[in-house]
Amino acid sequence: MKRLLMIAYHFPPIQGSSGVQRSLRFMQHLPDFGWEPLVLSISPCAYPATSSDQLAQIPSSTVVCRAFGLDAARHLAIAGRYPGWLARPDRWSSWQLAAGICGRALIRRHRPQALWSTYPIATAHRIAANLQRQSGLPWLADFRDPMAQPDYPPDPAQWRAFKRIEESAAQQAAALSFTAPSALADYRQRYPDAAARMHLIENGYDEAAFTDEVAAEPLSPGSFTLLHSGIVYPQERDPAPLIKALAALRHERPELSEQLRVRFRAPVHGDMIRQLASTHDVLDLIEILPPVPYRAALAEMQRADGLLVLQASNCNHQIPAKLYEYLRARRPILGLADPAGDTGRQLAVAGVPLVVPLEQPLAIRDALSAFLTDPARRALADETVVAAASRRQRTAQLAALLDRMTG
């Protein structure tokens, strides 16, 4: 069996990011396709929140090195401020030194045939680039999101650091993978010399995580509960248009708004949502709840009356990993995303009937009204599309690419 050294910031016991599922599920399924994973991650103290609920899913035989690293914003700040160079390319740049030592030791001891790293966090790619130069091993650079974009990161020094990292990946990596078609197309244009080495490996869902028995009763008997599970970003998933739409619905169709409850599970920016809801006098239509273990979050999705996707048009080259779990949960989905973006197109391919731009409150108001009153607008995703999106299928793609890289 071949060995793969996986470099990933997002790995259990981190809590609060769906990104952990990509590295965790690849690690779980790779042995079925002839690859033994070795994992190089960061010390748990670097995570903003931790949970032990997924640690048991790491086989005891899997080699995991948790190299020391700190979060500059939490560990190195004085009065909430810290030098900018401590956060280049990101707040976890201190991870690089110990990870380099640990990575070289893993390579000497276990003789992997390839390297794999995943962004975000950018430091993971920097670690992999250094290890590739030192070892000569073929490197697969995984981009879950685009890096240097026209307006991101806003700090010019950090933008330059991101640009250097993606340039090194384009030059050094034996292959580069992306999770959304538009991101793949964009990077092929940016780096035409590396275009043939760029591939699409989308996110997915883990079928084994959906085996728990789920209660039959709805989340809120007597109400229609629309669930958003996971982080709500102030810009990339701005909830303000949705809150304005709820206010407009209450004004024009009060009988419908009284049926509706919008539940935000572990949104992180809950205070922002409460303030918006209070300002627009719809606080009673909103529920903001804390994180729960991963399987409990999946069970909640399966009991919701509807599932809510938020994705702004400034993220048209991205697809939330949570979307694939929504599809597998087999519940109606309301997509608040640009129909021309990758998220909107993925929803359309899956047969989701209602997809409207997140930036348009009146369109969201009309979509909410249709979602509540017209059963045809709550059609479930196409089963064939859902079946093709399993993490096992994605891992088969990864293993095939690794096999080609290593001959």
Please provide the DSSP assignment of 193-261 as one string: GGGGGEEE----B-GGGG-S---SS-SSTTSEEEEEES---TTTT--HHHHHHHHHHHHH-HHHHTTEE
Q: Which amino acid is at 92?
A: W
Q: How far is it, in rounded angstroms, from Cα 198 to Cα 187?
A: 8
Q: Confidence band (pLDDT; 50, 70, 90) for 50?
A: very high
What one-character DSSP code corresponds to residue 78? B
183 vs 341: CA distance, rounded Å: 11
- What does the block give as tokens for 245? 């739409």
CB 92 within 8 A of CB 121: yes
What pLDDT score was predicted for residue 302?
A: 95
Q: Is the pLDDT of residue 17 over 90?
A: no
CA distance 349 to 24: 27
Which of 322, 314, 317 has its CA nearest to residue 359?
Answer: 314
CB burial of 366-380 (b: ≥16 within 10 Å; e: otherwise) equals: bbbbbbbeeeebbee
pLDDT digits (tens, 9 = 90+) for 75-127: 988 888 888 888 899 999 999 999 999 999 999 999 999 999 999 999 999 99
What is the chain's mean pLDDT, rounded?
95
Bridge partner residues of 141 (DSSP):
117, 176
| Distance of alpha carbon 96 from alpha carbon 87, whole angstroms | 12
For tokens 């990946």, the residue is 169
Q: In angstroms, rounded to a whole number, what is the distance separating the alpha carbons of residues 321 and 18?
A: 6
Task: Look at residues 326, 284, 324, 271 and name the one whose alpha carbon lies nearest to residue 302.
Answer: 326
Provide, rounded to the nearest whole percent, the portion of the chain with pLDDT above 70: 100
231-272, pLDDT tens digit by residue?
999 989 999 999 999 999 999 999 999 999 999 999 999 999
C-alpha span between 22 and 144 (Å, rounded): 9
* pLDDT, mean of residues 29-39: 98
| 102: DSSP letter | H
Q: Token pair 């690849």 is at which residue?
A: 26
Q: Is the pLDDT of residue 64 over 90?
A: yes
Q: Which domains does the chain have, with CATH numbers?
A: 2-204+390-406 (3.40.50.2000), 212-387 (3.40.50.2000)
Predicted confidence (pLDDT) per residue in 269-292, tens digit: 999 999 999 999 999 999 999 999
Tens digit of pLDDT for each residue in 360-391? 999 999 999 999 999 999 999 999 999 999 99
Task: Put residue 161 in one of left, alpha, beta given phi > 0 → left and psi -120 to 50 → alpha.
Answer: alpha
Question: How far, CA to CA in Å, does 14 sit from each of 108, 229, 266, 269, 346?
Answer: 28, 17, 14, 18, 28
Contact 374, 256 (CB under 8 A): no
Which of the four pLDDT bands, split at 50, 70 and 90, describes residue 218? confident
Instruction: Give the span between the Cα atoms of 311 and 350, in whole angstroms.
Output: 17
The larger pLDDT score, comparing residue 167 to residue 87, is at 167
The two tokens of residue 325 are 């779990």
Q: Is 112:405 a contact under the CB 8 Å cutoff?
A: no
**Residues ≥6 apart with Cβ < 8 Å to 149:** none
The pLDDT assigned to 233 comes to 92
Tokens of 278: 């209070």
Asked if residue 63 lies in contact with residue 31, where contact means CB atoms within 8 angstroms, the answer is no
Amino acid at 209: A
Find out whether 99 and 67 touch, Cβ atoms under 8 Å.
yes
